Homo-oligomer: A and B are copies of this chain.
């Protein structure tokens, strides 16, 4: 196997759980794991500058292929020298495959999603996204995303235009975006789908994994500078999850395997760690594992103990913009990672002269009061979201540092 652009070096293996500390080296710097990767959906971590992101200690950014494909377009980002260059972020970058959004943006937007076999085009599985309130003048219309064995046809949330993603197309777009770590194209099924659908979908995802791998290897220049992670699916079914973990970890083309793994799925919260446990029983230990779209601090801790290395989620940044911030709960003597959420818009903070969190070392807590934050949200001032985003991401960085310390000290 040729030299790959990333390396994964395990430092400590926990004796108490599957947790491990490690370092992922990328062409744009190191990521100490377990790590939380902030999401910059549209090539910006919302409301903050890259300097703020670096100053608060974040080491990498994950952006969304679906959004960047629709706007500004991969050709524009490629012309800038890639995702990191256009957004002025010199550290490591990830892109997802776009599959999750292409299939399920209706779900992600909190809209209805229904799936049925299309009679109009035999051989297609059809997902209909019941959209409402969109820009494109398609309010309350059914917007179908059609899946066939080669890919998915979907409509843009920006203008309703039709697009078709295949594994090859997803990989080509991700090559143009130029992130250090990219993902194979997959279908993320709903946990509510019947087992027959899950099986059919998983077979398709596995075929797409191979096509993704082939497409990436074919572009030798991109292959030499971008790592490709395969994605394990399988819903909440033990046999499918294990089958998928085995298939993805053993898959190779020209003797070349995936550089790491993503664990995907739309989970019911109670099923999530069970599925991760099955998967990580099979995935090899010597490659990084990314738990896609997770999550809350409490879920991340569980994911770490099940052997996951990296995580991404919009929640810390999204919450911040609506006034919800994390604060460590030092009154909980049983859980060393206990935290609470505060809503800074609450009237009780109107004259609270303390920082968001006493003793917090972030820029926001060192310089601003809860009373000021409360005022900024009530006044509709953008600075409120900026300052809370800094705090929440700093909280996540500190949380992961603590996680790594606990693993290294043999306590997690």
Contacts and interface: CB of A to CB of B under 8 A. Distances in A.
A375 B79 contact: no
A63 B350 CA distance: 20
Interface string A138-156: 0000000000000000000
B378 A79 contact: no
Contacts of A351: 76, 79
Nearest to A368: B88
A382 interface: yes
A245 B242 CA distance: 86
Interface in A357-388: 367-369, 371-372, 374-376, 378-379, 381-383, 385-386
Contacts of A353: 79-80
How many copies of the chain does the oligomer comprise?
Answer: 2
A307 to B, nearest CB: 35
Interface in A9-68: 42-44, 46-49, 67
A382 B71 contact: no
A371 B76 CA distance: 8
A87 interface: yes
A136 to B, nearest CB: 13
Interface residues of A, number: 34
A80 B378 contact: no
Contact of A369 (B49, B80, B369, B382): B80
Contact of A350 (B46, B72, B371, B374): B72
Given A76-B351, A80-B353, A71 B375 contact: yes
Interface string A369-412: 10110111011011101100000000000000000000000000
A212 B80 CA distance: 57
A107 interface: no
A374 B379 CA distance: 27
A353 B75 CA distance: 12
A251 interface: no
A379 B80 contact: no
Interface of A: 42-44, 46-49, 67, 71-72, 76, 79-80, 86-88, 350-351, 353, 367-369, 371-372, 374-376, 378-379, 381-383, 385-386
Given A47-B383, A79-B353, 15 more contacts: A42-B375, A42-B376, A42-B379, A46-B381, A48-B383, A49-B383, A67-B379, A72-B374, A76-B371, A79-B351, A79-B371, A80-B369, A80-B372, A382-B385, A386-B386
